[in-house]
Amino acid sequence: MHNSIRGGNFHGPVVQAHTAHVTVTPRPPTIAGLPPLTSAFTGREQDLAELRALLTTDGPSTVTVTGLGGIGKTTLATAVGHALLDAEHFSAAFLVDLRGYDGTPVEAGQALDTLLRALGVPAEHIPPDPETRAALYRARLEQHGGGVLVVADNASAADQVRLLQPPSTRHRLLVTSRETLPGLGARLHRLGVLGPEAAVALLDTVVRAARPDDARVTADPAAARRIAKLCSHLPLALRLAAAQLVLDPHFRSDELATDLADHAARLDLLDDGEVGVRIVLDRSYRRLTEPQAELFRLLALNPGPDISTDAAAALADAKVREARSRLARLVGSALVEQTAGGRWYLHDLVRDYALEQAGRHRAAGGSALQRLLVHYAETAVAADEEIEALPGRRGPGRFRDRGEALGWLECERANLVVTVRLAAAIGLPLVAVPLSSALVGHLVRWCRNDDAVAMTTAALSAALAVGIRSEEATARHNLGFAQGRARRFEEAMEALLTAGEIFQEVGDRKGEASAHANLAEILASLHQRQAAIDAIRYALTLVHGRDDPRWEARLSFNLGILLIDAERLDEADETFRRTATVFRDLGDRSGEGMSWGCVAQILSRRGRYDEAIEVHQRARTVCQEAGDRYNEALVLGDLGVTLVGAGRVGEAVGAHERAGRLLRETGDRQGESLSLRNLGIALRRAGRADEALAAHRRSLAVCQELGDRTGEGSTWIALQAVFKDLGRHEEAEEARRQADRAIDDAHAALSESIAIITSRQVGDAGVDNG
């Protein structure tokens, strides 16, 4: 791409110059125009605009473009040079290739020699030492008729470019490097990979450059997107992948995508014999210190998409500050990326390369992976204990408070789910089972039911493999709970009943009670209300008098919910007032607030709206004092329903809007869909039909996303009413038909579950055994 220097003993860098509106006398072969802008330059409009601004406004005279090797830094710098010359911001532009990642990088003195020649200094007048050359270089720049842009390409160290910095901001130095080079005092521009559309466009451009009528990329958009993703949207990898199509005109895009999906062979495929992704990464990897290289290799072992600093420290068996320093150096080398939230990740191709390197250090990798999995399990258990701890009774102390623990679980969710499955696969049940126990409740709250089922299934397989009955019981219980929330009722019943039997066998009364409490929830979902009440009452007999009043109060709270569902309001009211007192005495403000919220629901059902509203407000205050935003949202939703009943629809709209915001923040998608539906009902009552329509449509979208046919049916019914108000009768009739279909589907699924369970007499077994 660049002109090479031939002849004599000159070993300086390649330099290219472009001058706008100026006639330049021909000089030695070190001088040429900027390389032409390749037709494959695409998807960099924002980067181009940002660099133009950095190079033409007040600020440091030096700008550094950093990024992974092969990401397109040189192409972008060339494009910027052309754009600024065309706009007459500079009268001349020089590009000098410093070969920072070759075997013999160009030194500053060599670069200055070449630049001085480009600026018109005869060879015999160029001083021998770098500092004097730098002084002459600065003087010649100042004598130049217009501003000069110098592009120092492929720098690997600050010393290569420090002497090239111009004397004033009339001239600018644009450095490209895989390193951050903080010692330069330059403005930094981090270049990322291409977006998906631009990546596909690059593939198509490269293929059509060889054969303009070759439409293989555009003919199969799905395969093209897959190729782009498997190339990590990295320009170098995309060009190398496109070259495979150029080489073989009968090679289909989907075949190339299949080949690239083989992670073990992908780096081999992305190599044309002269340049390749592995070659580029090798050059960066070899520059790392051994501690940095070790951490780089180990990062590829993290089972999830990104990693925290604490987890990286556990992986490397290092102090947190040491891990942070190494990670920062890896980011500075463009081998690791950092998210806006301060987490760290590897692009997929870089991960492939890191795994290759890790394969050469298998023993260290095995022990590091085990440390990481234990770290995740221990921290998740600590987070769960912090969340469950009563005020004044802190958890293990790893987190400042409940909010931080919840935030950690959500942030690490993807890592934790995969960790359970990995721990199960490599035979670590004492990691898999406790971790799944700590995580399953949070996954179902976030409506990650499929994740919860997959995770608990893996934990059960790990427990069965080692034959520890107590671990098996816990794993079956967690699986049944997850299956129940996923509405896989017959499987859930079987898992919970078996768990209850094993808990009874090993003498774990609390575990047995928990299994029957979850069994009661499933029976209630199947409209077997009395069987559900019997199951929860049996669970209460297992824990009564066992010096665990909080657990007993929680079971009583669940009983109250079932009593409301059965329209036994007097018993329910008495139950909730009792649990409110117990929770208050224990200091469990969340439990107290939710108990009062249920008392308010009962008052609302009886039409005693003023009393209900007062008790709802009391419940909300208690939840706020507890810092429990999730239960505050639930109370606000119930308050909104009560306010509608009382005819105070304006206040109801506000309550539902606040509830929806809190539910979105806490990740309860199903709760959010219900909140939106209730908001729509309140807006319709307030005469705000268009807004009601928008709220219902948002609710419908969430229901469809979650596969909640029951909720979808209810929302279609609400939409039908709004369409009628608006006089849109055809749409109202279609909404009615959609509601009927959704409700029929939900009833059919429920009836099938009931039939299966009844045929197995599981319902009776649930009552007889508790």
Distance, in Å, from the CA atom of 556 to the CA atom of 344, rounded to the nearest integer, reads 45
**pLDDT recorded at residue 699:** 94
Average pLDDT score over residue span 493-505 = 95
Q: Are strands 187-190 and 62-66 parallel, antiparallel or unpaired?
A: parallel
Residue type, 61: S
**pLDDT recorded at residue 768:** 36
Average pLDDT score over residue span 705-721 = 91
- How many CA atoms lie less than 13 Å away from 626 in the CB half-sphere? 28
Q: What percent of the chain has pLDDT over 70?
A: 92
Beta bridge partners of 151: 95, 174
**pLDDT recorded at residue 750:** 62
Distance, in Å, from the CA atom of 547 to the CA atom of 510, rounded to the nearest integer, reads 11
**pLDDT recorded at residue 403:** 83
Contacts of 345 (CB under 8 A, 6+ apart): 305, 306, 307, 336, 337, 338, 339
Interval 564-597: pLDDT, tens: 999 999 999 999 999 999 999 999 999 999 999 9
Interval 125-167: pLDDT, tens: 999 999 999 999 999 999 888 899 999 999 999 999 999 999 9
**pLDDT recorded at residue 753:** 57
Contacts of 188 (CB under 8 A, 6+ apart): 63, 64, 66, 180
Interval 520-563: pLDDT, tens: 999 998 889 999 999 999 999 999 887 789 999 999 999 999 99
**pLDDT recorded at residue 574:** 97
**pLDDT recorded at residue 23:** 37
Average pLDDT score over residue span 26-44 = 62
Interval 277-321: pLDDT, tens: 999 999 999 999 999 999 999 999 999 999 999 999 999 999 999
760 pLDDT band, cuts 50/70/90, is very low
Contact 326, 291 (CB under 8 A): yes
The first and second tokens of residue 180, run together, are 């951050």
Q: What are phi and psi of 474, to 5 degrees?
A: -60, -45
Average pLDDT score over residue span 685-707 = 93
Contact 190, 66 (CB under 8 A): yes
**pLDDT recorded at residue 258:** 96
**pLDDT recorded at residue 8:** 32
Distance of CA 372 to the CA centre of its chain: 19
**pLDDT recorded at residue 394:** 61
Query: Of the candidates 343, 336, 338, which has an alpha carbon nearest to the alpha carbon of residue 297?
Result: 336
Interval 667-682: pLDDT, tens: 788 889 999 999 999 9
Residue type, 744: D
Q: How many CB atoms lie within 10 A of CB 363?
A: 7
Distance, in Å, from the CA atom of 17 to the CA atom of 119, rounded to the nearest integer, reads 10
Residue type, 734: E
Distance, in Å, from the CA atom of 428 to the CA atom of 695, rounded to the nearest integer, reads 47
**pLDDT recorded at residue 665:** 85
**pLDDT recorded at residue 323:** 96
Overall pTM surpassing 0.85 (yes/no) = no
Beta bridge partners of 63: 174, 187
